[in-house]
Structure 1
Amino acid sequence: MRRIHFLMALMVVCSFLTVLHGHNAMAQSVAEFYKGKTIAVLVGSRAGSAFDIEARTIIPFVEKYTGAKCLVFDMAAGGGLQARNKLFESKPDGLTIMLSENAPKLITASLFKNEGVRYTWNKFVPLGKIIYSPSTFNVSKKLGYKTPKDLVGVNFICGTSAPFFEPLFAEALGWNGMKLVPGLSVNERALAMRRGEIQATVGNVITATQNADIMDPIVASSRDEALFPGVPDVGEVVMPGKGKWANYMDAADTVMFWAITTPGVPKDRAAFMESVLRKTFEDPGYRPALSKVGEIPPPKFVTAARLVEMMNAFAAMSPKEIEEMEQVINKKYIKQ
């Protein structure tokens, strides 16, 4: 009887070791696949843009943990549409990626069926997120407004490069008097505010700190006491019956700056690249590298699974809700 028990225990141990060896071999084979390869890093904006700088800051760590060489391809045509189409249509081998992307614009362009879109947004494979900056709604100090309620019933002009967060803030907080002027760069918006041509704009922590003499953040897409002490997030001050707009903003804020790859990439390669991003996030040299270019990491590594959760928030939208969102973002608040 003891001999039988011994043999059974031995079989269990052998089975466990076989499975463990199989997992190790699989991980090893994926790691070997990337060594010496070339990874195409697509950027949906011009060279020198924030997304380009972010990608180039991450790349040395990706090369360190993959043994591959990364080549950057800046593809600004169509406001990033060219890069997104290219990624969607690339070979699904895990060798074409985007390391920091404007996910809200990617998603809504597909949802709204914009001209030239050849991708289906929720087929992209998320890899994780290691860049972070909540969006804040900033108002001119000349106005003297300190809280979101101060803007209710007020007519004011908000500058933007392309509308997204601005109309979501307005819809959630009851700012029916806001009018958007699109097509303005970050520097153009700061100059316009100094001249009194606009009274508000949305930006990140860099926008708020570099222009602290002329603007105050009064509400954020997500609360961060370290970055914006005392500034509430939109979910805390949302108007009754407008909660879904705060939820959309939370989902968009979470996926902003995500890293993604081509649909159909083998799961083991996607998981390997996620582990590379996690190692990058945990690397002692990563935060100093980000700091040099004025960027910060999220409080913790944002997993692919977490990004999928936020993707589901958009995927669950009905055709009527999509039509309503398009109306709010692209039409309702645009200054005529």
Structure 2
Amino acid sequence: MPIARVKMTRSRMLARAVLVVVLPLVTITAAKAQSVADFYRGKTIIYNLAVPDGASWGLYARTFIEHLHKHIPGNPTVILQVMPGAGGVIAGNHVFNVAARDGTVIGTPLSTSMVFAATDPDQVKYDPRKFSWIGSMAVVQDVITVWHTAPAKTLDEAKRTELVMGATGKASNSFQDIALANNLLGTKFKTVRGYKGGAEINIAIERGEVHGRATTWDSWPGSHPDWLRDKKLVHLVQLGPRKLPEIGNDVPLFRDLVGEGEPRAIVDFVGASLAMGRAVYAPPGVPKDRIEALRAAFVATMKDPAYIAQARKLKLDADTWQTGDAVERIVNEAFSLSPALIQKAKSAIDLP
């Protein structure tokens, strides 16, 4: 009997010790989750969009925030704030320096403006490595496209005939893709800058003010499926890690047209913005538990059947999303290149 009592006593002591260790952990975890929910309950999150709300970027942002709120603890309201200008630099400066650092401001930058910070750090007031990256809704594939009546309708013809292309600012893909083609492929594109966004450039194309533009591929089925259906657009070259068959097997991939070594390294560096895609970020300094909650909410939204169904209905990419860690790695890799190579990339996209 004494032996049995000793065994029972030891068992009870062990059980109590386990409870002493486990219960505080459970309490801390629950309190942590509760504190995030308490913070966001009744709050409004501002979703800052770096481009005009008139094309694919706006479609992605609106579709995303429509479903995001229900996956954030406390179910806050999420509203869209549109802040275009300077190829995304204005929004980047704002989110980095002005926006609240408490988790109530998130947004989507123009991804080229993040790479622009590596080539022209003096022209921006943000460091992409210090943003809190939440995730990316989709990888981006760019195309250089002209109107069906343009005087040149192939890449070879564009090397002999001048084509006028619309663009926003120097930090945008509408400018950088065109400059890259001129400098690495020998095309004769002439860029007209100053348009407020893609929708405005599209109007200029239809009016005959410009012949075309560089943009994300999915902006076309998203904003002008009628132009695709009626074959009013001619795609000259696509930019990205691999060819997309939906663009057309006869449309060459930019990186396949340049030699290995430095030219391809430059193309891949500029293409880091495509790999980042339609990213979601928050300012630096947001409490870690709120960033973790936002990252978890992002993943839950990407996996939400309602979000996926709506995205596909709108012809948006619901399959190539990435986590915040993945976007962070892309940004850090872009900034890890040698200063000499970054300088050559800067020259290739016509940045002084």
What is the TM-score when the length of structure 1 is the normalising length?
0.79
Aligned counterpart, 2:136: 129
Deviations, residues 4-36 of structure 1 (Å, cap 9, x unaligned) = 985796445763564355334323322332121
Query: Which stretch of structure 1 is more off in the superposition, 301-310 or 200-209?
Result: 200-209
Q: Give 5+ residue unaligned stretches, structure 2.
A: 169-174
Q: Judging changes above 3 Å, is the alpha-carbon distance between structure 1 residues 273 and 104 closer, same or farther for their aligned structure 2 residues?
A: same
For residues 75 and 152 of structure 1, the distance between their equivalents in structure 2, rounded to whole angstroms, comes to: 34
Deviations, residues 201-224 of structure 1 (Å, cap 9, x unaligned) = 444234375534143434331336
Aligned counterpart, 1:40: 46
What pairs with 1:1-336 in structure 2 (closer than 5 Å)?
Answer: 3=7, 6=11, 10=15, 11=17, 15-16=21-22, 18-48=24-54, 50-66=56-72, 67-89=75-97, 90-98=99-107, 100-109=108-117, 111-113=119-121, 115=123, 117-138=124-145, 143=152, 145=154, 150=156, 154-157=160-163, 159-162=165-168, 163-169=175-181, 171=183, 174-183=184-193, 185=198, 188=201, 192=205, 198=211, 201-207=214-220, 210-212=226-228, 213-217=231-235, 218-223=237-242, 225=244, 227-228=246-247, 230=249, 233-241=253-261, 242-291=263-312, 294-330=314-350
- Please report how far the alpha carbon of residue 226 of structure 1 lies from its aligned counterpart in structure 2 after TM superposition: 5.9
For residues 255 and 19 of structure 2, the distance between their equivalents in structure 1, rounded to whole angstroms, comes to: 52
- Please report how far the alpha carbon of residue 125 of structure 1 lies from its aligned counterpart in structure 2 after TM superposition: 1.0
For residues 221 and 169 of structure 1, the distance between their equivalents in structure 2, rounded to whole angstroms, comes to: 13
Q: How many residues align?
A: 324
Conservation of the 8 A alpha-carbon contact between 1:42 and 1:72: yes
For residues 89 and 241 of structure 2, the distance between their equivalents in structure 1, rounded to whole angstroms, comes to: 27
What is the TM-score when the length of structure 2 is the normalising length?
0.76
Deviations, residues 87-110 of structure 1 (Å, cap 9, x unaligned) = 112232111111x32121244056
For residues 319 and 34 of structure 1, the distance between their equivalents in structure 2, rounded to whole angstroms, comes to: 42
For residues 219 and 225 of structure 1, the distance between their equivalents in structure 2, rounded to whole angstroms, comes to: 8
The AA in structure 2 aligned to 1:167 is: A
Query: Which stretch of structure 1 is more off in the superposition, 245-254 or 318-327?
Result: 318-327
Q: Judging changes above 3 Å, is the alpha-carbon distance between structure 1 residues 166 and 15 closer, same or farther for their aligned structure 2 residues?
A: farther
Percent sequence identity over aligned pairs: 20
Q: Judging changes above 3 Å, is the alpha-carbon distance between structure 1 residues 286 and 227 closer, same or farther for their aligned structure 2 residues?
A: farther
Q: Judging changes above 3 Å, is the alpha-carbon distance between structure 1 residues 40 and 123 closer, same or farther for their aligned structure 2 residues?
A: same
1:164 partner SS? helix
- Please report how far the alpha carbon of residue 144 of structure 1 lies from its aligned counterpart in structure 2 after TM superposition: 5.8
For residues 265 and 79 of structure 2, the distance between their equivalents in structure 1, rounded to whole angstroms, comes to: 40
Conservation of the 8 A alpha-carbon contact between 1:280 and 1:286: yes
Conservation of the 8 A alpha-carbon contact between 2:177 and 2:214: no
Runs of 4 or more above 6 Å deviation = none
For residues 158 and 105 of structure 2, the distance between their equivalents in structure 1, rounded to whole angstroms, comes to: 46
Q: Judging changes above 3 Å, is the alpha-carbon distance between structure 1 residues 131 and 329 closer, same or farther for their aligned structure 2 residues?
A: same
- Please report how far the alpha carbon of residue 263 of structure 1 lies from its aligned counterpart in structure 2 after TM superposition: 0.5
Q: Judging changes above 3 Å, is the alpha-carbon distance between structure 1 residues 118 and 153 closer, same or farther for their aligned structure 2 residues?
A: closer
Deviations, residues 28-72 of structure 1 (Å, cap 9, x unaligned) = 322332121111222223454543443222222122222111233
The AA in structure 2 aligned to 1:137 is: I
For residues 167 and 251 of structure 1, the distance between their equivalents in structure 2, rounded to whole angstroms, comes to: 16
Deviations, residues 254-275 of structure 1 (Å, cap 9, x unaligned) = 2132100010112221111011
For residues 159 and 179 of structure 2, the distance between their equivalents in structure 1, rounded to whole angstroms, comes to: 15
Deviations, residues 118-174 of structure 1 (Å, cap 9, x unaligned) = 3223211110011454112335667564xx6x4696454351414122333555xx4
The AA in structure 2 aligned to 1:34 is: Y
The AA in structure 2 aligned to 1:161 is: A
For residues 10 and 76 of structure 2, the distance between their equivalents in structure 1, rounded to whole angstroms, comes to: 49
Conservation of the 8 A alpha-carbon contact between 2:152 and 2:158: no
Q: Judging changes above 3 Å, is the alpha-carbon distance between structure 1 residues 190 and 220 closer, same or farther for their aligned structure 2 residues?
A: farther
Query: Which stretch of structure 1 is more off in the superposition, 188-197 or 274-283?
Result: 188-197
For residues 312 and 48 of structure 1, the distance between their equivalents in structure 2, rounded to whole angstroms, comes to: 31
Conservation of the 8 A alpha-carbon contact between 1:110 and 1:119: no
For residues 25 and 157 of structure 2, the distance between their equivalents in structure 1, rounded to whole angstroms, comes to: 61
Greater Rg over alpha carbons, structure:
2
Q: Give 5+ residue unaligned stretches, structure 1.
A: none
2:305 partner SS? coil
